[in-house]
Structure 1
């Protein structure tokens, strides 16, 4: 089984997957965990570096080749829903909380600081369901699991991810609504 854990930056993907990895129960179905964003630069999985946005333009063919042969894998990244997977878990967070998290991330680590424009763009994308819509468009409603993270600990989100992976939870795309933010 190939599982994507995706969502707008700041929704808690990395924290929740790390909580899943360190939990007593471990990662469900012994899936290999790939933190894709950590592999992009060192593995050369990009076409170019966008200096203005200080980000990489990824090469999805290179990413697919990097993941080739990994059939039992959980891929964590805001890009994971663009890949060939069996299930997509989309983490969601209220845009106001998302802004706070992204600002705090920059305060805690100035190298990870995002511009005010980038933070606003991510909050608006979250309010508009951009990643959820892309996931449903590519994989269909029956393969997408939406998880609200706003007021949940990484451990609680990890438990919800586990339930989705193990089939203890029904697909749930479209259950979270932040349109009042706009």
Structure 2
């Protein structure tokens, strides 16, 4: 089984997935992209690599039983998608605290309020494969526990249950 843990940068994906206890191999996609040169270039405005998702998919094509962590993970072939959510105001605070430029933090907060990653996940994988987790006020262990429930099949799909539209 392949499970993607995705969400807007700053929602807690890496922190939570590092605490997940499962039989799946954890892959931090952003590290793989950076370390193995799986990018087509650099987005200078956002100061980030542009991932070559076809190359990433090829790199992982012979591997199953994966827990994939990245804001891009939902763009790969997976069985289940966990979308971590965070209130945009809190998300903006987290991003600026870790040194992101104000404009980038604001852009990500707006994307979170607009459900951008959730919509992409549902569009690609369907509502029956998408699980939302509001991580705003949960500690990483609690979020990891919810991810484990998704992996174990003990949680129902829940696309569309979290809304931050009031932020806009």
Normalised by the shorter chain, which TM-score bucket?
A: over 0.9
Unaligned 5+ runs, structure 1: 21-25, 107-113
- For residue 157 of structure 1, the aligned residue among 143, 147, 150 is 143
Secondary structure of the residue that 2:158 maps to in structure 1? coil
Secondary structure of the residue that 1:70 maps to in structure 2? coil
Report the more deviating stretch, 145-154 or 37-46: 37-46
In the TM superposition, 1:76-95 aligns within 5 A as: 76-95=69-88
Distance, in Å, in 2 between the alignment partners of 1:177 and 1:42 is 35
The Cα offsets for residues 46-98 of structure 1, whole Å up to 9 and x where unpaired, read as 00112232111110111011111111101000000000000000000000000
Distance, in Å, in 2 between the alignment partners of 1:41 and 1:91 is 23
2:4 is aligned with 1:4: yes
Distance, in Å, in 2 between the alignment partners of 1:115 and 1:96 is 15
Distance, in Å, in 1 between the alignment partners of 2:46 and 2:161 is 32
2:124 is aligned with 1:138: yes
2:60 is aligned with 1:67: yes
2:160 is aligned with 1:177: no
Q: Which residue of 1 aligns with 2:43?
A: 50
Q: What count of residue pairs does the alignment treat as equivalent?
A: 168
Distance, in Å, in 1 between the alignment partners of 2:138 and 2:9 is 16
Secondary structure of the residue that 2:50 maps to in structure 1? strand
- Please state how far the C-alpha of 1:122 moved relative to its aligned partner: 0.2
Distance, in Å, in 2 between the alignment partners of 1:161 and 1:15 is 12
Q: Which residue of 2 aligns with 1:125?
A: 111
Q: Which residue of 1 aligns with 2:15?
A: 15
- Please state how far the C-alpha of 1:35 moved relative to its aligned partner: 0.4
2:153 is aligned with 1:167: yes
